[in-house]
Amino acid sequence: MNWQPSSNLATLRQRAQLLDDIRSFFKKKNILEVDTPLLCQHTVTDQHIDSFAVNNRYLQTSPEYAMKRLLAAGSGSIFQICKAFRHDESGRLHNPEFTLLEWYHVGFNHHDLMDEIDELLCLILKTDAADRLTYQDLFEKYCQLDPLNCDLETLKTRIENTNTDTLDRDTCLQLLFSQKIEPQLGLDKPTFVYGFPASQAALAKISKDNPLVAERFEVFIHGMEIANGFHELTDADEQLSRFKKDQNNRGNAGKVGPEIDMRFIDALKNGLPDCAGVALGIDRLMLCLTNNNAIKDVIAFDWDAA
């Protein structure tokens, strides 16, 4: 039986330096490093994300809820580097246990945060400033349709090699994005995609200028998503409504719906400061830094060797 690490020691030294560089970046900005629980009583309700259950608690898929409770308590801008866990996500670009950099900058909107992420990526990867493209423009370029206004049947006609009979509108959009658009993104330098449909807002605000659009973005390098960010939703009632819709969607898909985290909702009621936040995958960032091909090559022990 092979006991050796899945990554080589030179890459692990690069990883240690990366973490040092990230911490130095935030220290210079006086952004506080925090540490929140990995095992919690509640977890995400998102239909497409499944958590590990351990002794009536859940391994966290992200530190988001706990960090926002700190923000509501007056922490100011914060960051965290931690492990996160997602069930049934394993492959070249996925490991069920992975490392996240998550941060929240008080007083920022999503465009401000894109500036800060670009600054970090230029420092770490020595890249040129990132491109910024809207979700709508990308669909019009690569799929010849308007994703915010086209009907479901038109979307289905663009999808290849998939039975579309039972697919809803957002699933069709996500398939088209992954099939036709993602491989084109960030080939020469990082690319920010912003202006996602309001139906895919997750925990982001809806644009006041266009109710069809969420104030959410993703970051891509070499056709690979490395980060997902929001101008954070602060309305507790709206967030509760979205969680209930998630639970209903999970039920319709035959999945158990975790109970809603009311501590998080109460924190929003107390008052989440206006802020923008992002979760950035450290393992995928390491792939970009080292030109490796698979997550197993940049972590000490992958899922099969752990």
Q: 100-156: per-residue pLDDT in tens?
A: 999 999 999 999 999 999 999 999 999 999 999 999 999 999 999 999 999 999 999
Residue 171 belongs to some domain of the structure: no
Residue 292 belongs to some domain of the structure: yes
Residue 177 belongs to some domain of the structure: no
How many domains, in total, are found in the chain? 1
pLDDT of the residue at 267: 98
Residue 3 belongs to some domain of the structure: no
pLDDT tens sequence across 256-291: 878 999 999 999 999 999 999 999 999 999 999 999
Residue 148 belongs to some domain of the structure: no
Domain that holds residue 64: 9-129+225-297
Residue 31 belongs to some domain of the structure: yes
C-alpha distances in Å from residue 234, one per residue of 13, 135, 161, 167, 202: 40, 23, 40, 31, 12
User: How far apart are the C-alpha atoms of 98 and 85, rounded to whole Å?
Assistant: 6
Q: Is 213 exposed, middle or buried (0-12, 13-18, 19+ CB in 10 A)?
A: buried
Q: What is the CATH number of the domain that holds 15?
A: 3.30.930.10
